[in-house]
């Protein structure tokens, strides 16, 4: 008699949800080839194809869709039963999966994630950063971290810090023989580091003064899609850059970068840790929430 593991069933759901072996493999923390082999083995055991595969796309067969419709709620029941047992653990263990975006990942890594790992070495953290906002429940994540204004209304949210800020910066060498921008439209006469969003669109730099929003389509010699690369270009005096203040604060304090147009970059919504309500959360889940609330209380003190 063939045996089937929960990981095999999770793999089917992940591929059906993402429509891609590669994306599903990233979600599951395994290689694409290993995932493909696991699905091929499962299909062999079942004697039916679960997916239609082409060089461009992956989709569920009719049998695969019926399989997913029946397996998904059953897996939910199984996970709730496992959660009920794990909630009784004296020592937290297991893996917690967190979805966020890259800048937020950098902001929470030391105060929350690494602090947690030092306190609870029996727990592993799987931190996934991506630009697109995802459904953390459908994606198999325990937690999400996003700006407060992007947290779904049906989630429990814990603010993780104070309001955040954008920062427009340039290297002293870049500004040495150029006029300092005084208003956002002055950027049109400067070389700027352009940023491409996850959806492929170019990021328009947002500003605000006295309640009036302004967006600027900057121009420049290079377009990048990652803040750490843009920071290098700005430090090398290629042009002016637009960042979260947390990404360049040390450079500003050290004099490597100069902040400009500060009066045009108002505070933004704080980050929030968010998660769905769970009846019997595992011990690791509960102590992670406790630490987040502890940090939230600390950041709210004057």
Whether residue 25 is predicted with pLDDT greater than 90 in this model: the reply is: no
Rg (CA), the chain: 23
Is residue 77 a contact partner of residue 86, using CB atoms and an 8 Å limit? no
Most confident listed range (57-61, 209-213, 254-258, 296-300) = 254-258
Residues 199 and 282 both lie in one domain: no
What's residue 2's pLDDT? 61
Report, as an integer, the average pLDDT of 58-65. Answer: 88
In-domain check, residue 245: yes
What's residue 244's pLDDT? 92
Residues 146 and 280 both lie in one domain: yes
> For residue 263, what is the domain's CATH number?
3.40.190.290
DSSP symbol at 110: I
Residues 113 and 200 both lie in one domain: no
Residues 100 and 131 both lie in one domain: yes
Whether residue 212 is predicted with pLDDT greater than 90 in this model: the reply is: no
Q: Catalogue the E-assigned strands of 107-159.
A: 123-129, 143-147, 156-159
Could you give the number of structural domains in the chain? 3
> For residue 63, what is the domain's CATH number?
1.10.10.10
In-domain check, residue 63: yes
Low-confidence winner among 146-150, 170-174, 195-199 (lowest mean pLDDT)? 195-199
What's residue 179's pLDDT? 93
- pLDDT tens per residue across span 96-137: 999 999 889 988 999 999 999 999 999 999 999 988 888 898
Q: How far apart are CA 240 and CA 192, in angstroms?
A: 5
Residues 223 and 252 both lie in one domain: yes
When pLDDT is cut at 50, 70 and 90, the band that residue 1 belongs to is very low
Examine the fold and report which residue of 86, 105, 140 is the final residue of a domain before the chain moves on. 86
Of the chain, the end-to-end C-alpha distance in Å amounts to 64
Instruction: State the residue range of the domain holding 33.
Output: 6-86
Is residue 275 a contact partner of residue 188, using CB atoms and an 8 Å limit? no
What's residue 87's pLDDT? 61
Examine the fold and report which residue of 62, 86, 110 is the final residue of a domain before the chain moves on. 86
What's residue 216's pLDDT? 94
């Amino acid at each position: 008699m063939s045996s089937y593991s929960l990981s095999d069933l999770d793999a089917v759901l992940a591929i059906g949800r993402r429509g891609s072996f590669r994306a599903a493999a990233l979600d599951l923390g395994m290689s694409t080839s290993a995932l493909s082999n696991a699905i091929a083995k499962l299909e062999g055991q079942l004697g039916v194809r679960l997916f239609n595969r082409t060089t461009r796309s992956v989709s569920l067969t009719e049998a695969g869709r019926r399989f997913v419709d029946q397996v998904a709620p059953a897996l939910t029941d199984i996970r709730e039963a496992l959660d009920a047992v794990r909630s009784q653990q004296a020592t937290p263990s297991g893996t917690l999966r967190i979805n966020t975006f890259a800048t937020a990942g950098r902001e929470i890594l030391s105060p929350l994630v690494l602090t947690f790992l030092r306190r609870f070495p029996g727990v592993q953290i799987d931190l996934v950063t991506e630009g697109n906002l995802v459904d953390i429940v459908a994606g198999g994540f325990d937690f999400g971290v996003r700006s407060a204004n992007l947290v779904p209304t049906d989630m429990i949210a814990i603010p993780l810090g104070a309001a955040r800020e954008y920062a427009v910066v340039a290297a002293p060498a870049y500004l040495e023989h150029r006029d300092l921008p005084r208003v956002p439209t002055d950027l049109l006469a400067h070389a700027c580091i352009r940023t491409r969003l996850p959806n492929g669109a170019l990021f328009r730099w947002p500003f605000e003064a006295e309640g009036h929003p302004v967006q600027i389509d900057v121009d420049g010699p290079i377009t990048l899609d990652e803040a750490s690369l843009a920071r290098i270009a700005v430090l090398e005096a290629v042009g002016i850059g637009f960042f979260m203040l947390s990404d360049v604060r040390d450079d500003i304090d050290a004099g490597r970068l100069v902040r400009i147009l500060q009066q045009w970059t108002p505070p933004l919504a704080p980050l929030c840790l968010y998660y769905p309500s769970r009846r019997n959360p595992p011990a690791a889940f509960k102590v992670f929430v406790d630490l987040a609330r502890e940090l939230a209380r600390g950041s709210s003190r004057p």
